Amino acid sequence: MPQDDAPLLNWQWLRFEQLPIDDLYDALALRGRIFVVEQKCPYLDADGLDRHAWHLLGRDDETGELVACVRVVDPGRKYEVPSIGRVVVAESERGTGLGHVLMAEALRRCDAQWPGAANRIGAQAHLQGFYRRHGYVTVGEPYLEDDIPHVDMERAGR
């Protein structure tokens, strides 16, 4: 899945309260650049779930720039099972395979944190093929979230 030009990343896996303020700022800035500015979708990113989540941050090993991140919301907060969300890769790294590297690392961490647990996501509908490559299947009907078509998808526990 990853291509040869995907950057080497330094990963951090932290609870919200463990995030240094600069890391939190970088994550929120990256999410805002992609989800609000690039996708032209004003929405409330600070939805209260970050406080109940693990955060996986991927920094370029050479530059230290945050280029990828996800949050994994605790079971019982959004869904009954853990939920990966806010999956984001910097625009400069698109096409390198970094999105697949990010998802593989997030799922590895989830499987270690919650052995045998499924994982459920609310995916933008046009990304179903991407998530299927990581073992997700579509469950339920499409719905609009922030005026963007979404579907729920679930990956069986490992």
Residues 6+ apart with CB under 8 A from 113: 54, 72, 82
pLDDT tens digits, 85-99: 999 999 999 999 999
pLDDT for residue 6 is more than 70? no
pLDDT for position 52: 98
Residues of the domain holding 69: 9-116
Residue 55 resides in a domain? yes
Residue 44 resides in a domain? yes
pLDDT for residue 112 is more than 90? yes
Residue 129 resides in a domain? no
38: domain CATH number is: 3.40.630.30
Domain count of the fold of the chain: 1
**Average of per-residue pLDDT across 143-153:** 94
